[in-house]
Structures are given as structure tokens and as C-alpha cells.
Amino acid sequence: MTTQTLAQSGTRANEGVAAAVVAALLGLGLVFLAGFAPASALHNAAHDFRHTQNFPCH
């Protein structure tokens, strides 16, 4: 292996770690937002989403 090949594999590993950290932060953010949001806001958001997907909810 050349030095360039080793450097590229290390960069790919770092990108994977960075992607996992970003995904974890987004996931935790969604959990906290849903956990602290008022129930009526969550209900209205789900209700509006169902309408946008043409899913009957009434």
C-alpha cells in the first residue's frame, strides 16, 4: 500500500464517524423536541402530515 491509499482509508473512517455523530445529534434533537412539545402541537403536526399524504383521518 502506498501512503496515499492509507490516507484515503483514514479519511473515509473519519467521514463515517462524522456521519454517525450528525445522525445521533439529529435523532436526539427530534426526541427532545417531541418530548417537550405540547401534545396538541404534535397532534396537529401528525394530522397535517396525514392530510399531505392523502391518508384518511376523519
DSSP-assigned states of every residue in 3-48: HHHHHHHHHHHHHHHHHHHHHHHHHHHHHHHHHHS-HHHHHHHHHH
Identify whether 29 is part of a domain. yes
Tens digit of each residue's pLDDT (9 = 90 or more) over 8-45: 566 777 899 999 999 999 999 988 888 888 988 888 88
The whole-model pTM stands at: 0.52
Q: How many domains does the chain have?
A: 1
Other residues' Cβ atoms within 10 Å of the Cβ of residue 42: 13
Residue at 7 is within a domain: yes
- The answer to whether residue 16 is domain-embedded is yes
In a domain, 23, yes or no: yes
- Domain containing 30 equals 3-52
6/49: higher pLDDT: 49
Residue 7 confidence (pLDDT) above 60? no
CB burial class (10 A; 0-12, 13-18, 19+) of residue 44? Answer: exposed
Q: Is residue 58, in this structure, part of any structural domain at all? A: no
pLDDT, residue 16, reads 92
